[in-house]
Amino acid sequence: MTDWFVEGHAKLVAALEAAPPDLACWTFLPAPSPRAMWARRQAHETAIHRVDAELAAGTAEHGFAPPFAADGVDELLTCFVPRRSTKLRVDTPTTFGVRCSDDPAAWVLDIGPEGVTAVNGNGGDAACTLSGRAADLYRAVWNRGGADALEVEGDRSVLDVFLEGAQVRWR
């Protein structure tokens, strides 16, 4: 199985490296280019599935470099969560902040009955702000645990609503 994965990874990297910068192809998330979208998406898809495998095997999770983990948080908060199909909705509008302690990245989500708007920001002045190491935030916002290692300021029920509603679903 490991050989199959290593071979597939090598083919993916080769395909992305060989793709021209002006490649035109289908995408489903905003990005500077289709190639950039697919490189980012596949990097985080692979990383999160690695976490899944580590959790299933009961092995210690390996860390992620803060800039990579912060980018994974950004992808979820600014690309996936605000999609029309999001289940993250509340009757009374609220705000949810996320702030990395080891990277300058931070976000604020406005959550309401119509869905979510996400902006890069300082993560403060929200009804609830989740902060901690980027790698812990990465796992937590992708619903892979780790929230216990994070600091929660404000109304914890907003975090609970986020974790329940911000799961990436394909149906």
pLDDT score at 9: 83
Counting the structural domains of the chain, the total is 2
Of 155, 147, 153, the C-alpha closest to 73 is: 147
**pLDDT-derived band at 169, boundaries 50, 70, 90:** low
Q: For residues 42 and 113, state if they share a domain.
A: no
Q: For residues 33 and 112, state if they share a domain.
A: no
Helices 66-74 and 34-57 meet at what angle, rounded to 10?
110
Q: For residues 111 and 169, state if they share a domain.
A: yes
Q: For residues 131 and 166, state if they share a domain.
A: yes
Distance of CA 31 to the CA centre of its chain: 15
Q: For residues 83 and 51, state if they share a domain.
A: no
Q: For residues 84 and 54, state if they share a domain.
A: no
| Per-residue pLDDT reduced to its tens digit, 45-95 | 999 988 988 888 988 777 899 999 999 999 999 999 998 888 899 999 999
CATH of the domain at 149: 3.30.1050.10
If you ran DSSP here, which 8-state letter would residue 147 be given? G
**pLDDT-derived band at 107, boundaries 50, 70, 90:** very high
% of the chain surpassing 90 pLDDT: 66
Question: Strands 94-100 and 115-120: what pairing?
Answer: unpaired
Q: With residue 119 as reference, give the H or E element that holds it.
A: strand 115-120
- The pTM assigned to this predicted structure is 0.91
d(CA 9, CA 121): 34
Mean pLDDT of 129-137: 95
Residue 150 burial (CB count, 10 A): 20
pLDDT score at 171: 44
Q: For residues 43 and 87, state if they share a domain.
A: no
pLDDT score at 123: 62
| Per-residue pLDDT reduced to its tens digit, 138-155 | 999 998 887 788 999 999
